[in-house]
Amino acid sequence: MDFSTAAKYASLLSKDYAEDIFKLLVNYQAISASEVATRLNLHIKTAQDYLEALNQLDIVSKDEVLEKKRPYYRYALKQTRLMIDIDLKQVKREASTNSLASHIRERANAGARFSAARSDDYITSVTIWTGNGREREERKIKLTTPQGKFLYHLPFPKAEPLTVDEIMHKAGVDEHLAPEIVDLVQLLEKYMVIESVEEE
């Protein structure tokens, strides 16, 4: 199961009325949204939306029924066991050769504040500001120790850029920690704190 599908399951199961709706689905051969709504004292649209979401996830089936020339849907449970199985490796960001080979340095006039540790050999956090005027907000990014060591060795704006791999080596950061370093680099590039420099 992919992460987004699991999130839909979790969202539905977290509703206050989720267990009560499932009790009805288990105990009734088929049930309509209006029957669920009146039975549980819910708004008809709330019941309808919930049952439709279950149908989209293939948890229930729906059949159109004609009654006094007015069609409506009855919902029936298709499965009595729900399994949420997520392989978290699917969200792992692999550090590609390209991302490790890109030449980077601190961007000039980035306006970010780097807070150094007392030992002064790594950075503990980076503070950036987003928005303008009254909408301006401060955001503090706390760093892991490997990220802090990496950022401590990031070339200054006018210095020669180095590759991500070279900075990691200089900072003594192990290769297997590359994904969290690349994640930080990409975040700080997004906020214009780090710049990638093309090789001449």
Domain boundaries along the sequence of the chain: 3-77, 95-196
Banded pLDDT at 199 (limits 50, 70, 90): low
Give the residue among 118, 112, 119 at the shortest CA–CA distance from 154: 112
Looking at the chain, the number of H-run helices and the number of E-run strands are 8, 9
pLDDT tens figures, 104-150: 999 999 889 999 988 778 999 999 988 787 788 889 999 999 999 99
Q: How far apart are CA 27 and CA 30, in angstroms?
A: 9
Which has the closest alpha carbon to 153: 177, 183, 122? 122
8 Å CB contact between 59 and 77: yes
136 burial level (CB within 10 Å; 0-12, 13-18, 19+): exposed
- Report the alpha-carbon distance of residue 66 to residue 64 in Å, rounded: 7
pLDDT at 92: 63
Q: What is the pLDDT of residue 143?
A: 94
Predicted confidence band of residue 200 (pLDDT cuts 50, 70, 90): low
Whether domain 3-77 has CATH 1.10.10.10: yes
Helices 44-56 and 3-13 meet at what angle, rounded to 10? 150
**Per-residue pLDDT reduced to its tens digit, 47-82:** 999 999 999 999 999 998 887 778 889 999 998 899
Q: What is the pLDDT of residue 50?
A: 97
**Is residue 91 scored above 70 in pLDDT?**
no
Flag whether the pTM goes above 0.75.
no
**% residues pLDDT > 90 (the chain):** 66
Token output for 38: 């009146």
Q: What is the pLDDT of residue 115?
A: 93
